[in-house]
Structure 1
Amino acid sequence: MVLFLTVVSGIAWTAVYIDAIRIGFRDRSYAIPAAALGLNFAWESIYATRSAVTALSVQGVINIVWALADVVILYTFFRFGRSELPAWVTRKLFLGWALLLGVASFAVQLLFVAEFDWEAASRYSAFLQNLLMSGLFIAMFAARGGTRGQSLLIAVAKWIGTLAPTIVFGWFGNSPLVLGVGALCSIFDLVYIGLLWRARAVAPVRAALRS
């Protein structure tokens, strides 16, 4: 069951990244919130590298795939991200902010490793940044005033991709922290799915009223 849920999570999150790449190029935007993208790339780079130099596992291979996908998503962020910001934010300011965000993301991940062992750090940081991502997706929907740069596939796959390891590490692993944070992720994710579903249902009605 644990292996099955690990594979489910890997497939679901891979679907998130593939669709994020597709949506990013289609809408000329980025489909993963900036802070979450920074933390994800840092997490996956660190743990993919560790997996590559130690014994490779199923999760280790998945981490490597995710890290490679993140590189493409980062390209969409640097290519189109400036347009999402106010006009006074120059290209230099945007790049400076992105660099600071990246350094901070790697620092946070390494501080988790320093505070906990590698295994605990990977779990605690992953679930906390996942909760942050869940909230930032809702904020992205509100800031963009709709579904631009977003998709139901990303929302549903993120929910499933988080729920599976919540069961593995929270329920089977008997971790109240992981179980509680994972449950909060599900609540936020379901709210976000509801917002996207409602927006998609309302869009044809609004288009008909305009015509």
Structure 2
Amino acid sequence: MLTLVSGLAWTVVYVEAIRVGLRDRTYAMPVAALALNLAWETTYAVDEFRTGVSAQGVVNVVWALADLVIVYTYLRFGRAELPGFVTRPLFAAWNVLLFATAFAVQWLFLAQFGTHDATRYSAFLQNLLMSGLFIAFFVARRGPRGQSLLIAVAKWLGTLAPTVLFGVLEGSGFVLGLGVLCSVFDVVYIGLLLRSRPAPSR
């Protein structure tokens, strides 16, 4: 049940990020987190399929395809949010470096810890990074443009469910600690979005 909740919640995050990005002509997920997500899903989809077709492998492929659409919104609209001296070649070079680094990080986790631990450790570390970057998103954009409360709540629940599963039920103190920190940042971000909502007219 917890795995299902997490899977559904993260699917909502991706679909809503695509919708909001296209609506606001921007990208709705911090790019460093986006790169790590794409690398995680691609890496572990391939790893899952080495031993045959699995439900998690299929889900990872679906999430990776959704990430590619979000990457499109970033490449389409992202440069407009950067200083004018960031030329197209510089933007392209930066993105090659960023996405290549994201894949390298995932492969290093896999080589060091093996599939079982690498999937968990890397996922929770990048989720903590994402939680902080969403707050930075809000600050940099001076409000909720390109963001939504649905993304924030779904991201929180999507991380909270595996925190309970791996951190509490399976007894991983490392995962539990990271998951609690994610929740702290996620709740702060939800609070910022709620506070930014216009007051209802009387």
TM-score bracket for this pair, using the shorter chain length: over 0.9
What is the letter of the counterpart of residue 28 of structure 1?
R
The TM-score, its normalising length taken from structure 1, stands at 0.92
The TM-score, its normalising length taken from structure 2, stands at 0.96
| Post-superposition offset of 1:58 | 3.3
Q: Distance in 1 between matches of 2:27 and 2:46?
A: 25
3-state secondary structure, aligned to 1:54: coil
CA deviation map 1:64-96 (0-9, x unaligned): 211110110111111111011111111111111
CA deviation map 1:162-207 (0-9, x unaligned): 00010111111110000000000000000000000110135x68xx
Change (3 A) 1:169 1:57: farther
* Residues 8-87 of structure 1 aligned to structure 2 (within 5 Å): 8-87=5-84
What is the letter of the counterpart of residue 188 of structure 1?
F
1:138 alignment partner in structure 2? 135
Aligned sequence identity (%): 65
Task: Tell me if the contact between 1:6 and 1:59 (Cα under 8 Å) persists in the aligned partners.
Answer: no
Q: Show structure 2 runs of 5+ residues with no match.
A: none
Q: Show structure 1 runs of 5+ residues with no match.
A: 206-211
1:176 alignment partner in structure 2? 173
Task: Tell me if the contact between 1:39 and 1:106 (Cα under 8 Å) persists in the aligned partners.
Answer: yes
Q: Distance in 1 between matches of 2:158 and 2:52?
A: 24
Partner of residue 182 from structure 2, selected from 177, 182, 185: 185
Q: Distance in 2 between matches of 1:201 and 1:170?
A: 37
What is the letter of the counterpart of residue 110 of structure 1?
W
Q: Distance in 1 between matches of 2:17 and 2:179?
A: 22
Task: Find out whether 1:110 has 2:107 as its counterpart.
Answer: yes
3-state secondary structure, aligned to 2:46: helix
Aligned length: 202
1:208 alignment partner in structure 2? none
| Post-superposition offset of 1:117 | 1.1
Q: Distance in 1 between matches of 2:169 and 2:114?
A: 20
What is the letter of the counterpart of residue 108 of structure 2?
L
| Post-superposition offset of 1:55 | 3.4
What is the letter of the counterpart of residue 31 of structure 2?
A
3-state secondary structure, aligned to 2:145: coil
CA deviation map 1:143-170 (0-9, x unaligned): 0011111000000000000000101111
What is the letter of the counterpart of residue 22 of structure 2?
F
